[in-house]
A and B are shown apart, each in its own frame.
Chain A
């Protein structure tokens, strides 16, 4: 099954949650998400998300030289981003709880049909 549609819905919130932990950069965000189980995520997918978050004013960025040499963008969450993240958490919890109820309901109904 293609997970991209589901991923689209949660990725912005997850990226914002990583940035909320402290100032970070693209590769570090990827590594954290990879460790959490988002193993198909590439930098190319992350870039548009970071650009959108910056455009919306949810994160700010500064440029500095990385330890490896090239210029690197470091991202921090803004106050607007913190508010947005709280709202995202709340919406996400509500939607996943509702979806779980539906899935549980479906399974229960399927079992009843089998036994009946």
Chain B
């Protein structure tokens, strides 16, 4: 599917290809739902192929302001544009926490089998320990929220630069995003290791993972049924 998409993009020429690539980059740095992004890009690609086949100038399709065109194309759907993407972003962190939990549970089961002690579920410490460092639910939550805010700011800067004079600095900014993420991870690990949060285990169980997975699931189900209802009208 992805190959066919790239093939169709390859059918564009000249201004159409250049403009579509800019729109793609805009979409990639916008925090929007993946399915929604694919739908809109596919529609724009079809329109461009149509207009190109008729020999129309790109300005007749996009207008003089490409950034305004992008803002209009990727708007009007708050759930898909703003709310769902936040949870789509948090989901990998929530799942990483689940992996750490699974590891800790496995560790406890093996230890219990060896020692024969009973340990209550809510007494399991959910943390990744690489002495002297540790990372638990609070640290992962901190990494998720901090990196989301930083990326939101940097993506806004990239969007402005895409259609401005400093387009060549975009690659530098993309690299800086990578560095920023690494710094967020370091902050999360340092916070967990050296700041005595003294939170009970039940807080770490309920922090990030269950709310993110539950809310994400509800939003996806709501989005699915809402669009199904619209289509059947």
Contacts and interface: CB of A to CB of B under 8 A. Distances in A.
A27 B50 contact: yes
B5 A44 contact: no
Interface residues of B, number: 34
Interface of A: 25-27, 30, 34, 40, 42-45, 47-48, 51-52, 54-55, 57, 60-62, 66, 68-73, 78, 80
Nearest to B230: A54
Interface in B1-48: 4-5, 7-8, 11, 39-40, 42-47
A69 to B, nearest CB: 4
B170 to A, nearest CB: 22
Taking chain B's interface residues, is the majority helix, strand, or loop, or is none over half, making it mixed?
helix
Contacts of B61: 30, 42-43
A68 B53 contact: yes
Nearest to A47: B73
Contacts of B4: 69
B231 interface: yes
Contact of A51 (B44, B46, B53, B77): B77
B129 to A, nearest CB: 48
Contacts of B49: 66, 68-70
- Of B39, B42, B70, B71, most A-chain CB atoms within 10 Å: B42
Contacts of B231: 60-62
Given A47-B76, A68-B11, A78 B233 contact: yes
B72 interface: yes
B224 to A, nearest CB: 15
B43 A26 contact: yes
5 contacts: A27-B51, A47-B75, A51-B76, A61-B230, A72-B43
A42 B70 CA distance: 11
Contact of B63 (A42, A57, A69): A42
B68 interface: yes
Given A44-B63, A61-B231, A68 B73 contact: no
Contact of B72 (A30, A45, A57, A73): A45
